């Protein structure tokens, strides 16, 4: 009669829970709706969301959570860029020696994503060269 929807987004499932809850469908019956397959939602999760919607929640998206604060800021990026300009034949390991409080992965992300450098014949150059360069 209907096909199951593979890999639904969490907010999509919560929207269905909110809709069925507004139609006063019991949480156990909402759990039995198999449009998303069997392993998408547990009965406890359905009950939790029904309770939140009954308490006045209207947003089906995840709320922002606090996490580990980022160590990357504009000042740090400027310092890394300054070290790179001092010696263009640098390695991430050499930068790690200069900035031991920052992991090599984060340094690589700063160099490639924030500063837009790429490796070119064992020398890092900006991806976008201008007339000044």
CB atoms within 10 A of CB 13: 20
pLDDT confidence of residue 55: 93
More confident position, 28 or 8 = 28
Instruction: Write out the CATH class of domain 10-55.
Output: mainly alpha
Q: Whole-prediction pTM value?
A: 0.48
Full DSSP string of 11-32: HHHHHHHHHHHHTT--HHHHHH
pLDDT confidence of residue 54: 92
Could you read off the pLDDT of 51-87 as tens digits, one per residue?
Answer: 999 999 888 888 877 777 777 888 999 999 999 889 8
Rg (CA), the chain: 25
39: phi then psi, degrees, rounded to nearest 5: -100, 20
Residues 6+ apart with CB under 8 A from 72: 106, 109, 110, 114
pLDDT confidence of residue 61: 87
Could you read off the pLDDT of 87-121 as tens digits, one per residue?
Answer: 888 888 888 998 888 889 999 999 988 888 877 55
């Amino acid at each position: 009669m209907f096909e199951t929807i593979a890999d639904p987004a969490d907010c999509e499932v919560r929207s269905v829970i909110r809709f069925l809850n507004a139609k006063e469908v019991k949480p156990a019956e909402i759990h039995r709706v198999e449009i998303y397959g069997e392993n998408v939602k547990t009965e406890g999760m359905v009950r939790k969301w029904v309770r939140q919607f009954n308490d006045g929640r209207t947003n089906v998206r995840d709320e922002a959570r606090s996490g580990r604060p980022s160590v990357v800021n504009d000042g740090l990026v400027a310092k890394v860029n300054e070290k790179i300009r001092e010696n263009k034949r640098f390695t991430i390991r050499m930068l790690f020696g200069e900035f031991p409080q920052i992991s090599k992965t984060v340094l690589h992300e700063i160099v490639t994503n924030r500063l837009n450098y790429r490796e070119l014949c064992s020398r890092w150059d900006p991806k976008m060269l201008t007339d000044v360069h």
